[in-house]
Amino acid sequence: MSHASYPALRLRRTRSAPWSRAMVAEHVITPANLIWPLFIAEGKGVEEPIAALPGVSRWSVDGIAARAREAAALGIPCIALFPNTPSHLRSERGEEALNPDNLMCRAIAAVRDAVPEIGILTDVALDPYTAHGHDGIVDDQGRVRNDETLAVLVEQALVQARAGSSIIAPSDMMDGRVGAIRARLEGEGFHDVQIMAYAAKYASAFYGPFRDAVSTRGLLKGDKRGYQMDPANSEEALREVAMDLAEGADTVMVKPGLPYLDIIRRVKERFEVPVFAYAVSGEYAMIEAAVAAGAADRDAMVLETLMAFRRAGCSGVLTYHALHAARLMEG
């Protein structure tokens, strides 16, 4: 098969005018592709700016409901909730995760009441509730106990589903947790509650500001490499995704985002399922630092990185820039 060559074919022709570029664009990004992560604080009328994440705050439950209204007004279909549990409620086994009146559950109820049509994604893991900062129950040697942790995660997921969660998102990376959670949700009649598995969650240096946001950075004893994935591995990510899908995950997530676009592409091509990425706190902080240094245009960089996720195969992106991006798209 022969191909036309210059000057019969000039690839610049379709790039020469805005109308033509729009017509032949292979991918689009809209507010419907965004999920906005929000941090919850105790109190009322509280907004606590997070120094490591310029422009991001923790909000009390009433503020979370107000942010949900903002999101819905801009066409953002889903918010993701993460609690900053007060230190006196954190314990070795994270019992506060099972309290139906905890920060997470109160925020779910407030959002469900204020904005019934919005999706609510809730994090299932024990690190916001443990005194040691790990995602599960730790033994005397400091190792996270997989099967013992599973039993708690299942109950945590059920508590969140009862409060009104739309999507249960296990971020703990314990083996078998998706199947255990799915079985319990089905048994309790929560047939329509989705599971978005943090299927390929890497032990990353990009999580630092998030740990400040939920106040776990100073608590963490050791590291999470015993259960989160090694950044050197990609075949293993495909095995993780295959396991989570077989156990009943509706959608899967790759975390972090931009440094793992190759993983997103491989997952999408292999499994042909909805894939999401989490543009994590370190990614957000790098963009904001570049903007503050005068080295980048925030608007252009945010939209370009979001398009990169779409091009790689993402159905949606969890991003702290969601509201800003949605406003840009609206304008």
**Does 16 fall in a domain?**
no
* Structural domain boundaries, residue 147: 27-330
**Does 3 fall in a domain?**
no
Q: Is the pLDDT at 244 greater than 90, yes or no?
A: yes
Catalytic residues: 201, 255
Predicted model pTM: 0.95
Residue 154, SS3? helix
**Does 325 fall in a domain?**
yes
CATH number at residue 97: 3.20.20.70
**Does 14 fall in a domain?**
no
| Token pair 């779409």: residue | 310
**Does 20 fall in a domain?**
no
Percent of residues in the chain assigned helix, strand, coil, to nearest 5: 45, 15, 40
**Does 65 fall in a domain?**
yes
Q: What is the DSSP letter of 260?
A: G
Q: What's the mean pLDDT when you consider all of the chain? A: 95
pLDDT (average), residues 210-237: 85
CA separation for the pair 95, 73 (Å, rounded): 36
What percentage of the chain carries pLDDT values higher than 90?
91
pLDDT (average), residues 200-211: 89
CA separation for the pair 298, 301 (Å, rounded): 5
Which of 198-202, 211-215, 236-240 comes out lowest in average pLDDT?
211-215
pLDDT of residue 270: 98
Band of pLDDT at residue 2, cut at 50, 70 and 90: low
Q: Is the pLDDT at 144 greater than 90, yes or no?
A: yes
| pLDDT tens-digit map of 33-83 | 999 999 999 999 999 999 999 999 999 999 999 999 999 999 999 999 999
Q: Is the pLDDT at 133 greater than 90, yes or no?
A: no
Closest CA to 298 of 316, 319, 317: 319
Q: Is the pLDDT at 1 greater than 60, yes or no?
A: no
Q: Are 199 and 273 in contact (CB under 8 A)?
A: no
**Does 11 fall in a domain?**
no
| pLDDT tens-digit map of 147-194 | 999 999 999 999 999 999 999 999 999 999 999 999 999 999 999 999
CA separation for the pair 81, 95 (Å, rounded): 18
pLDDT (average), residues 271-275: 98
Phi, psi of 36 (to 5 degrees): -105, 110
**Does 10 fall in a domain?**
no
pLDDT of residue 208: 84
Name the domain count of the chain.
1
Which of 32-41, 204-213, 261-270 comes out lowest in average pLDDT?
204-213
pLDDT of residue 288: 96
pLDDT (average), residues 290-312: 97
pLDDT of residue 43: 95
